[in-house]
Amino acid sequence: MKEVPMALSIAGTDPTGGAGIHADLKTFQECDTYGMAVVTSVVSQNTEGVRDVWHVPVELIKSQLNAVFEDTRPQAVKTGMLATPEIINSVADRIEAEKVPLVVDPVMVATSGDSLMEEETEKLMRTRLLPLATIITPNKDEAEKLIGQSISSLTEAKEAARHLVEELGAGSALVKGGHFSGDATDILYAGNEFYYFSAPRTETNHTHGTGCTLSAAIAAKLARGYNIADAVDESKQFITEAISQPLGIGKGNGPVNHFASRLTRDELFVERRMYHGK
């Protein structure tokens, strides 16, 4: 029987739609996957930064997970912002029980530099969630925190990817190069092999939600049955297009363009019309 590919995001919110579950749901849709979302924290943020954060009570997170898994079966799950030890434990318990392919985006700070995770949570991210990951997708800072070593070259990034898999137990690891200089090169270690995904760096500050979007695309591709290397390859193309054609939204670090692989800018932008009705 043919099934509709379904992907679930377990993450925080962004009312301006650039990061968190909002970015994930847009990405799932653009990647031809039915999107679902469990909210872990309500974050009052915009392109300029984080204003307030309220964590959803753990009982309500468990209830949302029950609502999803007692009714449907996502073929892939991605996690984003999981800010407290209790939240990590409740999500890890569920993933362990369901044995569903898992993309872990170990969100620790927002693009704006604001912290999104309590410190003791980092340890649980490493010891409980990472071993359940089909793929973990840290940026430079997150990879450094997870392995406890600094990373300043591609060779060290490669070593970090191997460390995440062989020492810490992730299924595979993608160490992202967004925060290095030069080309945006991401290194995947999967099945004892290294893969390089490189794209020219776009000179832009519109990179709010790049990590969320990339990891959601990988989850969507896994839900559609791709192997890990192909899922990352297509997702890298998706994020590269989304970054290279920014929308100019917001006063700060703006969102990426989730339409970019489908619509040209001429098709997307419309004449603004004034609404005069009541």
Ligand X SMILES: Nc1ncnc2c1ncn2[C@@H]1O[C@H](COP(=O)(O)OP(=O)(O)OP(=O)(O)O)[C@@H](O)[C@H]1O
Ligand Y SMILES: Cc1ncc(CO)c(N)n1
* Cα 76 to Cα 222: distance, rounded to the nearest angstrom: 6
Looking at the Cβ atoms of 42 and 58, the one nearer to ligand X is: 42
Residue whose CB is less far from ligand X, 74 or 209: 209
User: Binding marks (x or -) toward ligand X, 167..186, rule CB under 6 A?
Assistant: ---------xxxx----x-x
Under rule CB under 6 A, which residues in 40-59 are in contact with ligand Y?
43, 45
- Which of these is catalytic: 207, 236, 240, 254? 207
Does residue 117 interact with ligand Y by CB under 6 A? no
Cβ pair 254, 208 in contact under 8 A: yes
The answer to whether residues 36 and 72 touch, using CB atoms and an 8 Å cutoff, is yes
Residues in the chain: 278
Whether 235 contacts 43, CB under 8 Å: no
Cβ 212 to ligand X, closest distance in Å? 5
Q: How far apart are CA 121 and CA 252, in angstroms?
A: 28
Stretch that binds ligand Y, among 27-35, 60-68, 205-213, 270-278 (CB under 6 A): 205-213
Phi first, then psi: give them for residue 10, nearest 5 degrees.
Answer: -120, 105
H-type alpha helices, the chain: 20-30, 58-69, 85-98, 119-124, 140-147, 154-166, 210-223, 228-244, 265-268
- Tell whether residue 239 is a contact of ligand X (CB under 6 A): yes
Question: Distance between CA 230 and CA 207 in Å, rounded?
Answer: 23
d(CA 124, CA 206): 31
Q: How far is the CB of 80 from ligand Y (least distance, A)?
A: 5
Is 207 designated active site?
yes
Interface residue with ligand Y, options 110, 143, 151, 175 (CB under 6 A): 110
Q: What residue has token string 């760096």?
A: 201
Distance CA 170, CA 128 (A): 10
Task: Tell me which stretch binds ligand Y (CB under 6 A): 103-111, 175-183, 192-200, 225-233.
Answer: 103-111
The answer to whether residue 80 forms part of the interface with ligand Y (CB under 6 A) is: yes
- Give the C-alpha separation, 24 to 163, whole Å: 27
Task: Indicate whether 107 belongs to the interface with ligand Y (CB under 6 A).
Answer: yes
9 binds ligand X (CB under 6 A): no
Report the nearest approach of ligand Y to the CB of residue 15 (Å). 10
214 binds ligand X (CB under 6 A): yes
- Check if 209 is active-site: yes
**Distance (Å, whole) CA 202 – CA 179:** 12
Query: In this complex, which beta carbon is closest to ligand Y, that of residue 5 or of residue 17?
Result: 17
- Our finding on whether 211 is near ligand Y (CB under 6 A) is yes
Question: Contact residues for ligand X (CB under 6 A)?
Answer: 19, 111, 139, 176-179, 184, 186, 199, 201-202, 204, 207, 209-212, 214, 236, 239-240, 243
Question: Contact residues for ligand Y (CB under 6 A)?
Answer: 11-14, 19-20, 43, 45, 80-81, 107, 110-111, 209, 211-212
Catalytic sites, residue numbers? 176, 207, 209-212
